[in-house]
Amino acid sequence: MDYVRESSAWVANRSSHVVVDSAGIEKVVDTIESIPKVEWDFEGIHYFDNGPLTVQYLFVLDALNFCFWPDKDLSYDHLASGLKAALQNDKSAFDADRLQKYTGPQLRELLGWPRPLPLEDERVRLLHEVGFELERSFEGKASNIVESCGKSAQNLVALVARHFPGFRDHSVYKGRQVFLYKRAQIFAADLWGAFQGQGYGEFQDISSITIMADYIVPAVLQQLGVLKYSPKLAKTIEGSEEIGPGTEEEVELRACSVHAVEKMRELISVKSGRPVLSVELDLWLWASGVQCSSLQHHKTLSIYY
């Protein structure tokens, strides 16, 4: 994850449209006595049986965990709870051979969703990719990926990115490659949260995980005064205009969020006298954002978040 931190810092130091406000970070940190603990499954929407099937569920969930906003009624909750219900109804729903055969309408039926999903063809393609590579390299089981990583979140992210192209969340910014790995990292974070740091969720280096740069966290950071937008970018977001994937604005929104939260984490750790995990900050910021109905986030059609 050093690549994520280093390339995000590189972007933040050269950013034209997004500024990480050091005074804003200090102001926010001064108001925080401690990071509010947010339970991983605080809404009860996820499948959990404390075994390999939960790992399979989480990997399928995180393969599909992107781009809800084009459908105003669709949210992450629908995806998580829909997949949970599908698995409760049929324990073989996410078997590797079946993942390779789903069609768009079948995926909708699986989720109980009445109309085409945003980027539906991409979602189906990624399901096929996951099923194929799980069958080819991991005996069909996502749990075998986890067991191959040696209790290292960094190794897990690297394994997932190496074997599954749909998780390779890279961009090029001003001639330099930027690494963000939102969905690969959230798989590690979900395992850690679901299994409470034990069993399949035991990672000796969970502190290596950064935040998962998405739509919600930048908007929350901007609302807190940690991020400042240029007038042009602010107008684009307020007007609900699309921002192209890989554009300077889009990369800056995500990379500056990573860098800002790393700075927040460092200050909070010093203030509290104990290490603070970026994954804890991410869950707190994300939970705050999804509960704020007036939050305006940027709009980008992307398979990465």
d(CA 205, CA 154) in angstroms, rounded, equals 7
* Sole residue written with tokens 């995926």: 107
Using CA atoms, how far apart are residues 264 and 94, in angstroms rounded to an integer?
A: 38
For the record, the structure tokens of 210 come out as: 């950064």
In whole angstroms, give the CA distance from residue 269 to residue 271.
Answer: 5
Contacts of 278 (CB under 8 A, 6+ apart): 207, 209, 210, 211, 261, 262, 265
Q: Rounded to whole angstroms, how far apart are CA atoms 56 and 97?
A: 13
**Contact between residue 303 and residue 67 where contact means Cβ atoms under 8 Å apart:** yes
Q: Are 65 and 79 in contact (CB under 8 A)?
A: yes
In sign, the C-alpha dihedral spanning 272, 256, 189, 113 is positive
For residue 178, what are the β-bridge partners?
A: 171
Active-site residue set: 214
Residue that the structure tokens 């707190």 belong to:
284
d(CA 122, CA 125): 5
Neighbours of 31 (CB within 10 A): 7
